[in-house]
Structures are given as C-alpha cells and as structure tokens.
Structure 1
Amino acid sequence: MRRNFYLQHPLMAMNDPRMQNLLDEEGLRGIGAYWIIIEKLSMLPEPRTQLEYLRPFCKNRKIPFVYLKKIILKYKLFNLEEDDFFSVEELNPVKKKEQKMVKNSKENVDSNAKNDEKLQKTSRNNSENHANNDSNSLNNNDIAKADNESFKENIKDIITAATVEEKDATATTAINHSCPLNICDDYGQSQQMLHPVRPWQNMVDELTTRTPWLETACMQSCYGELLMRNIQKAVEIFKCHIELYDKGGDLLTMSEVRRYFVNYTKAGKPTSQALRETLIAFEAKQRATLPPNAYLHEQLINGKRTYLGCLIPDDAPARPSDTAFWNEQEHRWISQR
C-alpha cells in the first residue's frame, strides 16, 4: 500500500545529462511529462508496460499521447523492449568501474588489516618463544618468513587485479568508441536500434516528391491538377499552418506527416478550401507577371514558324493577327481588316 501512495524522487535527478537534455529541448513541459510517465509506471506491480497503457490517461488535450510517446522514445530515459514495452532507466547510475574500485578498495583494506594482524601476532609469538627457548628461534623465523611471503603474494594479487581491471576498462572504452550502442532485452539479446526522431520540417519537405501517394492525396482534394502544379507552394503554406497551430511536436514519423497533409487538403475541409483559393490567386498573379505572347497567332511545327499551313520566313516579325498573311513581294504582313 505504501508503494501505491508514495513515489521516491531522486534528489539529484536533474544532474543526469539526459534530464538536462530534456530540459534544454522541451523545457518544464518535458520535465512534467517525464514525471507523469514515472507516476503511471509506479502504479503498476512491475514498473514496465506497453506504450498503449498511457493512452487512457491522455483523453484530454492537456496530456497528448504523442507527446508522452516522444519523451519515451527520444531522450533515452526509458529502456525500450520488445512489443512496445518500456521501463524506466536509472538516473545518475553508478558506473561499473566505480563499483569495482569501491569493492576492490574494501577488499584491499580488509586484506591489509588481516596481514597486519598476522605480522603483529607472529612478532609477538617470536618474542615469547625466543625468551622461553632459544632453540625455537629457527622455527619462529620460518613462520615469519612464511607470513612475509604470504603478505607479498597478497600485494601481488592486488596489483595484478588492478592491472586487469585497468585493461578491461581500456578495452571497454575502445569498444564503445568503435561500435554503436545496442539495445538489449531482458535476456541480453541485441535488439534493433531505434531511428532518431527527424525534424518535422525535413519530413514535410519530402511531400513535394511526386509519388503515387501524392497523386492520390491530390485527387482527394477535388482540385488535384491545381494542387499538383503548385505542390511547392502548397507545402510552404502547410508548413506555416503547422507552425501557427504549434503542431510540429506531434509529428514524429513520416506517416503522421502524410496523414496530417491528407486531412489538411481533404475536400470539404475549411483548410482545403482556403488552400484552393490561395493557389488560384497565386497562379493568377503569376500569369499577370508573364510577358504577352508575341507569337500568339502562329503555330510552331517541327521547330518552324507556320500559319494556316504556310511557312513563315525566319526574319519575319511576329504575325500581328489571326487574319494577317505574309506578302512575299512587300516582305511584310498584310491584314484583311
């Protein structure tokens, strides 16, 4: 019962580099989301569960499920397991090397104390035996010599253990620098590493690539040709919409970006209607800035200028109207009007 009503909060939690990174990128909103996740995990018999466990706690907009999912996947504060299971990582964990050093230091102190005790006892026994019987001095010297040899062996073992530990630490550091870190499950099996979360701006820019998916999305807007012709402009307007409504933090994958764009351009939506009107105005403005077509009354066939099937000389000016004909004698256009 105590466990269900109390949650231990490490006093040095914010000294963990991962928590500092979370604070830098997400601010106090990210810190609050982290402790909400920890609180929900603490309510379980075992502090591990699937991502979907958090969804019932996110029914209102104040706690978006996608944001909690982002905190779990991006900042390495949780151990990701199979079947979307996750568990909390320890904050400020004691390094393996430091644990070994503490353990070896304790063993060395105990060993030195035992050796000192042996030497004092041996010295005291030697003095007593020498006073009582000089004939036993040879045996006492043998005992002292044996104890000294034992002490030297203990010192040698301590030095050897320290050397092996230093080599292991060096090898581990070399492996960590040469190989990427792998995620392991509860049984030590290596798991596929997660892809980092890409900036939503980069994923939105990829919408301009002409693909079967883009053609289908344009068809659902009911002004597909207009949208496809001006897809670059449409994507720029879409990005402004995302920034205006602060939706970038919810777009973690390319599939989420695509779904949002389809909903944004879907026929009947206010956003789709506004986009259509903007693109129509954009094309009208482009046409207004284009120079007039001087050769409007001519046809270009196989790279040659013609009108009504007649060839126009290369040095002739543009045909002025659709009733004009070329006068070879006067070398000029003559109009019937």
Structure 2
Amino acid sequence: MDSYLIHDANAGNNFKIMMMIQKEGMKGYGIYWMILEFLRVQDGYKADLRVLPILAQKMRVTVATLKRFIYESGLFKVDDTTFSSPGLTRRMGPLEAKREANRESGRRGGLANQQKIRQGMQSDALAINKTNKINNSPSISPQGETGKNEEILLVPPEYALDKQTHNYEGLMEELKRQKVTVVKEINAILRLTDFGKLKGKIWKILYDINNSPQMKARIVMPGKYILKLLQN
C-alpha cells in the first residue's frame, strides 16, 4: 500500500477537470490520471520537466500535447524545473502525517530501548559487584586473571565508561548481536580490547563481519573467531 493513490469518486465533477474533458475529451482524463500516478511515486510528489519526453512516449502522445496539458489545464503547478499537482499533494497529506507520526514513534521507541539497555547493564553490574563481594572472587579484576570463576562477567573499570575514549556499551551490544554468549570468551575479548577502547582492532573486525554476509554465515563459533583475530 506504499504507492496507493487516493481517487475521489467525484473527481470528474471538479470544474477544472470538466473544462479539461470538454477540451481534451476522455483521452485527456486518462492522461491526467497517468500523470498523477507518475507523480505519486516521485519524491515530494513532483517531477523534473526533463522527463516529459519519456512520459509522453509512455502515454503515446506528443511532447507538445503533454506540455500543453500540464501548462494550460490549470491542474498542475509548474516551477522553473519541476511540475506537480497541488490536488495530489493535498490528498496525500494524511498519509504523510501518519508516516511522520510512525517515524517519531519509532524514534521514541528506539530511545526507550537504549535507556532500558543502559539500565539493564547498570543493574547487572551492581548485581555482579554484590556477588563478587560475597564470594570474595578475584575474577572481577579488569586486567587480572580470572582465577577459578569464569562464569562472572568482568565489570568495566571507571575509565572504560568514558565515551570519549571507550565504547563499552557498544562493544557489549555487538558481541550480543554476533551471538557471543560464553562468558569466558566475552571476558577475554574485554581484556584484549581494554573494554572497548576506541580505534582498537576490535572495531575493524566487527565492521568486516557485519559487512560480509558470506563471512558471517561461515562463522560457527563467533567468540573464538573474534578472539583469534584479536590475538593475530
């Protein structure tokens, strides 16, 4: 329905159209609607005047006939380089308003999702800190060895949360997207990338994977694959 065209049932009773039909006949009525169909799928519902020869050939009329129709019927607006239909633009107004509302709703939904992700990550970090304090586990050390427990996700140091130098949240989201779910592998990647330091090797690796569907399809164990590339 993205390219549907609203056709008023009483369009033929419009004074300008009746005058056009009286002058051009029903052939002119057909030309009128073919022009509207063409304009409907153009950006901004307007077209470059240079397309008239092609349009005339499609309609099986002369360029002179089509120009006379557009310039003299009073049904179209002609600027220096483009032509449009004020009636069509007006009738498409509700659809444009709906599209804009959908875009705004999508934008707000995206912002809400990002906020939820941030809140979830903060909650996870608090929970991990609490667990590690109880267990007295050394595995939360950002740069240290994981020791005995590799089921606990490393907590990023404070400096890694500086978005001027790091993108920890973006790295975690990308690892999730790549289906890296083994905590041991995630921790190893965090250490090797200094928790998502900007301009690091990891970003080129992720870029190459995301822009090569063939490569992505061949990767069976994404965590091990990324680690191998980081260590090379």
* TM value normalised by structure 2: 0.35
Higher gyration radius (CA)? 1
Bigger relative contact order, structure 1 or 2, given CA contacts below 8 A and separation 6+?
A: 2
Q: Which structure has more helix as a fraction of its residues?
A: 2
Q: Which structure has more strand as a fraction of its residues?
A: 1
